Amino acid sequence: LSRSVDAKSKVVFYSAKIALSNLRFRSKSTSDIQLAIDYHIILLQVREAIKSAMAQGASFDDACTGEFESRAPELKELNIGICVLTRFCGRQVVAPVTSSLQEALDRRRRLLA
């Protein structure tokens, strides 16, 4: 979970995030920590399902697409932002955030080529 404080209102916000194979998935922010924990649990389940599908021979792209399609209603509520993470000259480079899994997978593919 990540925590941020709105400078103006001083309200604390939380969001869930995971990283897997150069992608970072982040949920929308919420002031309800229990809801943020629930979002984190969902993202952890998604990560484990993707790993499991890959262990059974699925490509990373197919595993992600399959998991996102099978959990579409649940994941829509999280309003997930996805970005590609990579390193260049010893520094982490973060691509712009997108809500499109296919766009993120395309960016990842191009960066890793």
For position 106, what pLDDT does the model report?
96
Tokens of 106: 């395309």
Burial annotation 10-27 (CB, 10 A radius, 16+ → b, else e): eeebbbbebebbbbbbbb
Q: Residue 88: is its pLDDT beyond 90?
A: no
- pTM of this prediction? 0.88
- Helix 101-112 vs helix 60-70: crossing angle, to nearest 10: 170
Q: What is the mean pLDDT of residues 21-46?
A: 96
pLDDT score recorded for residue 111 = 84
- Report the SS3 class of residue 14: strand
Q: Is the pLDDT of residue 38 over 90?
A: yes
Contact 35, 22 (CB under 8 A): no
Average pLDDT of span 2-19: 94
Q: Which two tokens stand for residue 3?
A: 């925590």
